[in-house]
Amino acid sequence: MKRKSFIAWMMLAASLVLLMAVQPYAAGYGSFRRTILAELLMRWKDATWQHGALLPFIAGYLIWRRRNDAAQLPETADHRGLVLIVLALCLYFAGFRANNFYCGYAAVMALLAGSSLWLDGRESSRGRLFAWLMLGFMWPLPFLEESIGYQMRLIMVRATGFVLNAAGIESLVSGTALQSMPNLEFGRKAGELFSVGIAAPCSGMRSLFALLVVGALFSYFRQRVLWRRLALFSAILPIAIAANMIRILVLIFAAMIFGQQWAIGDAEKEVSAFHEATGIVVFLVALLLLQSASWLLNRLCGGLGFRRSSVVSRQIISSVT
């Protein structure tokens, strides 16, 4: 990196410190304005958004690993980046006036994109595009927890109930709760075998955003073609739902075998240690399904490529003979 470019990037870093860590920005639901950094640190304490603290380091690593390729590119300033910088600062000011953190998040992202384009040009910015996109996972979006989280809970309960009934275990779905049906023959009451309430933490939202990060990195490193990366990444949402449903099934079967208290615990007081431990099941199953989807994608596309090359080879041979 040239000295002039290095100084410019250091000035940008200092500006970001002032905008994010020094200047009070918004109050949110509080009574006084907090800086953007203070808001991030507060949100990152929540298990749903804890992964955000790792994203600056991940983005930095992605840029660092391409340092040799970036060094060979010419540093040609693109003045369209200056326009983007001005728009980013206007958006930052609009968010300050509107008392809205989300405008500040978008402004910082736009400022980084515009600065890269202005200082290092289009080709260098294109090489940093994936790192910039990954940095977008850093920002907490708590408004999604209610809008998407509740719908995921409904999907989870209905899908789990369908699987249990298909397996011959009669279950009753009521809102976001799932319990065993009464059995007069064996004298069992409703919910005696199992009774599970899918609370917000169990909706899959806590694992969904972390899995999006993992899935994006997995798709980027395991696939080399853009459309394959996008296809694999688009499978994250159904994979997250399937992995979380498997966790709920594990809890239900454990409750049927070892009892509700041991497997699930008391939802009003404290969940059981087994309940907490099954959280890792979501990630293990999701990684297994991601690997399977990647293998299937390679298998299908590789087979298709082989068949096409075989057809072309036969046509060439027949034309020569």
User: Per-residue confidence at 304, pLDDT binned at 50, 70, 90?
Assistant: very low
State mean pLDDT over 261-279: 75
Query: Strands 177-180, 270-271: parallel, antiparallel or unpaired by DSSP?
Result: unpaired
Structure tokens at 80: 């369209």
Judge whether 238 lies within some domain: yes
Decide if 317 is inside a domain: no
- Please check whether residue 242 lies inside any domain of the structure: yes
Domain that holds residue 55: 3-139
Cα–Cα nearest to 211, from 232, 185, 197, 190: 232
The reported pLDDT for the residue numbered 312 is 37
Angle CA(175)–CA(179)–CA(182) in degrees, nearest 5?
A: 125
Tell me, yes or no, whether 220 and 169 share the same domain.
yes
- As a whole number, mean pLDDT of residues 281-290 equals 88
In the chain, what are the helix, strand and coil shares in percent, each to the nearest 5?
A: 70, 5, 20
Residues 6+ apart with CB under 8 A from 181: 170, 171, 172, 190
Within a domain: residue 289?
A: yes
Mean pLDDT of 79-104: 94
Q: Is residue 251 scored above 70 in pLDDT?
A: yes
What's the rounded mean pLDDT across residues 72-88?
Answer: 87
Are residues 29 and 128 located together in one domain of the fold?
Answer: yes
Q: What gap in Å lies between CA 129 and CA 3, rounded to an integer?
A: 23
Question: Average pLDDT of 78-102?
Answer: 94
Q: Does 234 lie in the same domain as 126? A: no
Is 176 a member of any domain?
yes
pLDDT of res. 318:
46
Last residue of a domain, one of 139, 158, 183: 139
pLDDT at 62 over 60: yes
Same domain (yes/no): 295, 149: yes
pLDDT tops 60 at residue 83: yes
- 201 and 81 inside one domain: no
**Looking at the domain assignment, is residue 46 inside a domain?**
yes
| Model pLDDT for residues 206-250, shown as the tens digit of each residue | 778 888 999 999 999 988 888 999 999 999 988 888 888 888 888
Do 170 and 200 lie in a common domain? yes
State yes or no: pLDDT of 315 exceeds 70.
no
- Mean of the per-residue pLDDT values of the chain: 83
When mean pLDDT is compared over 42-56, 136-150, 276-290, the highest value belongs to 42-56
Residues 104, 228, single domain; the answer is no
Asked if residue 139 has pLDDT above 90, the reply is yes
Do 294 and 266 fall into the same domain?
Answer: yes
- With respect to residue 315, please indicate whether it lies within any of the assigned structural domains: no
150 and 59 assigned to the same domain:
no
Torsion, CA 166, CA 167, CA 173, CA 179, rounded to 10 = 170
Would residue 318 count as lying in a domain?
A: no
pLDDT band of 190, cuts 50, 70, 90: low
**Of 115, 139, 163, which closes a domain?**
139
Domain boundary among 103, 120, 139: 139
Residue 74: is it exposed, middle or buried by C-beta count within 10 angstroms (0-12/13-18/19+)?
exposed
Domain count across the chain: 2
- Angstrom distances, CA of residue 211 to CA of 88, 198, 234: 29, 20, 12
Beta carbons within 8 Å of 285's beta carbon, 6+ residues apart: 242, 243, 246, 247
